[in-house]
Amino acid sequence: MAIQPIQGASPFLKTEMTETKQAVTPNEAQQNFASFLKESLNGVSQAQAKSADMTNKLILGENVDLHQVLIAGQKASVTMQLTMEVRNKAVEAYQEIMRMQM
């Protein structure tokens, strides 16, 4: 049985380093942020779908390792928890901005 290396915790943690950055217009920043959110949510959705698929295969008696099913379930759970925490922080930041006096 081959041991698989540990993958990154989440697609949220992927970052790219660049040596020099050009000024980004507000419209480009908005599009980049929107695409980042979309990719991140797709990653969460894929993790949940994989977990559900593996669980169904296990229930139907197909040849699936129990520990792989449990790992997929935990990955889906952790990515969902991370997504919820990011959402909570974003809402909290928005509320704080709305309370600011100008």
| Domain contains 4 | no
| Domain contains 47 | yes
| Interacting residues of 93 by C-beta distance below 8 A, sequence separation 6+ | none
Residue numbers of the domain that contains 80: 26-99
| Domain contains 76 | yes
| Domain contains 75 | yes
Instruction: Provide the number of structural domains found in the chain.
Output: 1
What pLDDT does residue 18 have?
47
CA distance 88 to 40: 16
| Domain contains 17 | no
In this predicted model, what pLDDT tens digit does every residue of 52-92 receive, in sequence order?
999 999 999 999 999 999 999 999 999 999 999 999 999 99
| Domain contains 6 | no
| Domain contains 89 | yes
pTM over 0.75: no
CA distance 81 to 44: 10
| Domain contains 71 | yes
